Amino acid sequence: MDQIRTGALIREFRIKSGLTQKQLAERLNVSDKAVSKWECANGCPDISMLTELADIFGTDVQTLLAGKIDFNESEVGNMKKLKFYICGTCGNIITATSDANVTCCGNKLTALEPRKAEDGEKLNVESFDGELLVSSGHEMTKEHYISFVAYQNDSTVMMFKQYPEWTLQARLPLFRSGRLVWYCNKCGLLWQNIR
C-alpha cells in the first residue's frame, strides 16, 4: 500500500461522499486525527478497516490498496461486444460492456472469449407463431448443461437462464438478425449468428 496515493484517494472519496474527517472517523470508530494522518500520508488504516472503508465509499479494497481508480474505456454501447464473466464456484453470470475487474466467491474472474459453434454444437432456431423458438438436443444433466442462452444485437441483449435437467427452450421476438451466445459448463462460451 502506497501511503501517499492511498491517503489522497481516501481524501478524494471522503470529499465526494460529503463527509468531514470527523464524520468518517465516527463511522469507523476511530479518531478524526487518525483520518487526518491517513490523508496526510503519515499512516495507513489498519487492514481490518479496509472492507468497511470500501463499503462507505462504494468501492473495493483493491482500489484502496492501489491508491487509484482504474477507469475502463467505453465500448460505445455496442451490445454485441458484451463481456460475459461466469463464476466457476456458484455459477453467477455477470456482464459488462467493457473490460472490468470482477470478483465472485473470492475469485477474480476474466471475461470469457466466445467460440463460434460448429455444426454439431449449434442451437436449433425455428420461426414459430411470430417468434423464434430456440431449443437444443444438448444434454442437460447436473454434470453437463447449458446455464444460459442470450440473444444479442447492436442495441439489445436478452438472457434466458437454463437449469440442469430441464429442456432447453427460449422464445424470442422475431428479429431480423443478431447472434445467440450460450454457456455450457464443459464446452465454454459459444455463439452463432441468426438471420
Q: Give domain status of residue 127, yes or no.
A: yes
- Residue located via cell numbers 464456484: 89
* Structural domain for 57, as ranges: 3-66
pTM: 0.65
Taking only the tens place, the pLDDT of each residue in 126-185 is 988 888 899 998 989 999 999 999 998 888 899 999 999 999 989 988 877 889 999 999
What's the total number of domains in the chain? Answer: 2
Q: Give domain status of residue 125, yes or no.
A: yes
The CATH number that applies at residue 55 is 1.10.260.40
Q: Give domain status of residue 27, yes or no.
A: yes
